Amino acid sequence: MELPSKLLENAVNEISQLPGIGKRTALRLVLHLLRQPVEQSEDLANALLKVRGEIKYCSGCHNISDKEICQICENPGRDKSLVCVVEDVRDVMAIENTGTYKGIYHVLGGKINPIEGIGPSQLNIVSLVEKVKSNDVKEVIFALSSTMEGDTTIFYIYKQIKDYNVKTSTIARGIAVGDELEYADEVTLGRSLQHRIPYEQSLNQL
């Protein structure tokens, strides 16, 4: 795409690197900003810099947080012995929206994916195993999407914690194979958490 200005081209290139945004959409967004008061661009730029520079990850569960410990881990009403393992922070939001879960979370930050070069050491797995070893956890619920990467990740973690005194379960497959968790509707997701099954049992179904 030929653009009449290097500055414009630069902005379009940066924005089009965001997922789901092509060059045309990026151009539309930049032209839109140029028609707005300059404050809007400043506010946008500042919000991005601030979120990138100041966001924290909860030292307990790796959820996004404004403080050292997130609101969920901090809440005395949450059952700390029940840990729901999810891929990323969007899954925490999706499960929180169901309003049915009263335990805490553990955010892995991804799934094991050899093709994309993501191994166990790049995920928050050690801290989960440590949590289990400390004996504070009664049950670990695996709430990962049932893709091959999700299953591989669950099995890897399961092997690390199975010898400790902890129950492992996996969400019931109301979620169709290959579905991403965040797209599941709240009712289905809430139900699949309530009707979770022991992890060993789910292995027999494979």
Note the residues at the interface with Zn ion (CB under 5 A): 58, 60-61, 63, 70, 73
Gyration radius from the chain CA atoms: 21
How many angstroms separate the CA atoms of 48 and 51, rounded?
A: 5
Cβ 63 to Zn ion shortest distance, Å: 5
Considering beta carbons, is residue 73 or 154 the nearer one to Zn ion?
Answer: 73
Considering beta carbons, is residue 13 or 59 the nearer one to Zn ion?
Answer: 59
Considering beta carbons, is residue 43 or 79 the nearer one to Zn ion?
Answer: 79
Cβ 106 to Zn ion shortest distance, Å: 9
Residue for token digits 């989960």?
128
Cβ 103 to Zn ion shortest distance, Å: 12
Considering beta carbons, is residue 87 or 151 the nearer one to Zn ion?
Answer: 87
Considering beta carbons, is residue 11 or 58 the nearer one to Zn ion?
Answer: 58
Cβ 54 to Zn ion shortest distance, Å: 17
Cβ 144 to Zn ion shortest distance, Å: 18
